[in-house]
Amino acid sequence: MDHQPQPPELGIVIIGSGLAGYTVIRELRKLDKTIPITLITREPGYFYSKPMLSTALASKKSAEQLVSTNAEGMAAQLGLTILGNADVSAINTSAQTIETSKGKIAYGKLVLGLGADQIRLPLQGNAANEVITVNDLEEYTQFRKTIEGKKRIAILGAGLIGCEFANDLTLGSYEVDVIDLAPQALGRLLPEAAAQALQEKLSGAGVRWHFATTVQSIDRDGDSLSITLANGSTITSDVFLSAVGLRPRLDLAKAAGISTDSGITVNRQLETSAKNVFAIGDCAEVDGLVLPYVMPIMQAARALAPNLLGQEIALTYPAMPVMVKTPALATIVSPPAKGAAGSWKINTVEGGLEARFESSDGKLLGFALLGAATAQRGTLTKELPAILQ
C-alpha cells in the first residue's frame, strides 16, 4: 500500500524493506523522531523475519503467519512513507533523484538495502524451468503451495540455507536429497569432523547426501522429476529447490556509476562512491567483507543511522558467531578470517563436538560448536579477535 504524500526533498529514502532497511529506520527513529523517511520496496512493505523461512514448516507457521506487521502498521509505528510494490529503475546521483514505477522521488540521503538474489546455476533438461528458489516471502508462499501433497524434495546446495531447509523438510516428513559439489556439508564454515557429525544427525533424520557431484540435467518424467547427476546416478523427486548461495544485487548501483566489487563498495561510514548514497546489508561490501547474516546487519544499522544524521561513526564488527538452525544437531560457527593461518583442533565432548581454529601460538581465531558444546559460545566468543576493528 502507498502512504502519501511524497516526502520533502531533503528526507532520507531507503530502497529495500528487508531486515537491513527496517533496522536502519528503527535506529534512525531512536535518534530523530521527525526527519522524513520514505521506504521504497518491491514488496508490499510488510515486516517478516527472513531467517524463519527455512524453519517455518517445523514451527507450523504458514507464509501469512510469518508477517509480524503489515505495511500500514510499519508506517504508523515508525512514522514513515511507504511506497510499496514499486520498482526502482534508475538513480541519478547528481540530481539526487530516483526513478520508480510510481514516479520520481528526490532524496537528501539515499540508503541502498537492495539485498541479494539466489544464485541460479544454468541447468540442462526439459524441467530446468521448474527449479524453485526461496529468497523472500512471496517465493516461500509459492514453495509451500508446490510441496503440498508431495513427498520427495531435492535440494541443490549443502550450505547454510540448504542444510536448514533439509532439516526443516525432514521434520515435515518429506524425503530429502541434498546435492553439493563440495565433499561435505557447510564446506565454507565447518571443519571435516564437525561436518561429519552434522551430516550423521541429518542422515538419521532422513536426509540423503550426494557430495562431490552436481546436477547435469533435470527432466519431467510423468508426475516426477528425474535428476541426473554428474557422477552418473539419478534421483527421482517431486520438487527441486536450489539453495547454492546469494549474489548481491548490484545492477542498480552499477547503472548509476556507483563503485561495486563483490558487493556495493562502502567505507566504514557505509558511504558509497556517490555523495549522499549509502549501502547496507546483503548488497554491501565493507573492507572486502560481504556478510549476509543478521548480526552484521544489526551492527551496521547502529553505525549507519547516526551517519545519516550528520555524525561520524565508523562501523566495527566484533566476533559474531552464526547459529545454524538445524535442530537435529544445534550448530554455532564463527569461521576464521579468510586466509587466517592456523589449524583446527577437535575435541569430542559428551553430546557434542568442539572445534577450535587456533594460530600457531595458540590464539583462538575461530570455532565450530555442535550439540552440547554450543554452551561454550559466550566464553569462546570473548576470546576471538574482532572481524573489523
Q: Which three cell numbers stand for residue 316?
A: 566495527
133 with 197, same domain: the answer is: yes
Residue 238 shares a structural domain with residue 250: no
**DSSP three-state, residue 301:** helix
Give the per-residue pLDDT at 80: 96
For residues 174 and 188, membership in a common domain is answered with yes
Evaluate whether residue 318 is within a structural domain.
no
Can you give the length of the chain in residues? 389
Say whether both 271 and 373 belong to one domain. Answer: no
**Whether residue 297 is found in the same domain as residue 262:** yes
Q: Cell numbers of 300, please?
A: 551496521
β partners of residue 175: 152
> Looking at the structure, do residues 164 and 209 belong to the same domain, yes or no?
yes
Q: Are residues 190 and 158 part of one domain?
A: yes
Range of the domain at 164: 120-242
pLDDT tens, N- to C-terminus, the chain (389 residues): 444 434 444 799 999 999 999 999 999 999 999 999 999 999 999 999 999 999 999 999 999 999 999 999 999 999 999 999 999 999 999 999 999 999 999 999 999 999 999 999 999 999 999 999 999 999 999 999 999 999 999 999 999 999 999 999 999 999 999 999 999 999 999 999 999 999 999 999 999 999 999 999 999 999 999 999 999 999 999 999 999 999 999 999 999 999 999 999 999 999 999 999 999 999 999 999 999 899 999 999 999 999 999 999 999 999 999 999 999 999 999 999 988 999 999 999 999 999 999 999 999 999 999 999 999 999 999 999 999 98
Q: Dihedral sign for Cα 144, 149, 150, 151, please.
A: positive
The rounded distance, in Å, linking the Cα atoms of 334 and 386 is 11
In a domain, 216, yes or no: yes
> In 3-state terms, the chain is what percent helix, strand and coil (to 5)?
25, 30, 40
Say whether both 233 and 262 belong to one domain.
no
**124 lies in the same domain as 237:** yes
The residue out of 242, 277, 299 marking a domain boundary is 242
User: How far is the CA of 227 from the CAs of 150, 326, 331, in angstroms?
Assistant: 16, 26, 30
d(CA 238, CA 240): 7
What pLDDT score does 338 carry?
87
137 found inside a domain:
yes
- CATH, residue 350: 3.30.390.120
At residue 106's C-alpha, the angle toward residues 104 and 109, to 5°, is 140
Domain boundary pick from 308, 340, 362: 308
Give the cell for residue 383.
576470546
- State whether 161 and 223 are in the same domain: yes
User: Residue 325 falls within a domain, yes or no?
Assistant: no
Does some domain include residue 160? yes
pLDDT given at position 6: 41
Asked if the structure places residue 196 within a domain, the reply is yes
The b-or-e profile of 212-231 (16+ CB within 10 A means b, else e) is eeebebbbeeeebbbbbbee
Rounded distance, CA 346 to CA 344, Å?
6
**The last residue of a domain, from among 210, 242, 274:** 242
Please state the separation of Cα 175 from the chain's center in Å.
Answer: 25
Determine the pLDDT at residue 8.
Answer: 41
Q: DSSP letter at 6?
A: P
- Considering the entire predicted model, what is its pTM? 0.93
d(CA 166, CA 175): 9
Supply the DSSP string of 223-289, one letter for each residue. TEEEEEETTS-EEEESEEEE---EEE--HHHHHTT--BSSSEEE-TT-B-SSTTEEE-GGGEEETTB
CATH of the domain at 126: 3.50.50.60
β-pairing, 109-112 vs 277-279, is parallel
Helix (H, G, I), strand (E, B) or coil at 305: helix
44 and 101 belong to one structural domain: yes
Q: Are strands 224-229 and 234-237 parallel, antiparallel or unpaired?
A: antiparallel
Number of domains in the chain: 3
In a domain, 5, yes or no: no
> Would you say residue 315 lies in a domain?
no
DSSP symbols for 364-377: EEEEEEEEGGGGGH
The reply to whether 81 and 126 lie within a common domain is: no
At 277, phi and psi to the nearest 5? -120, 130
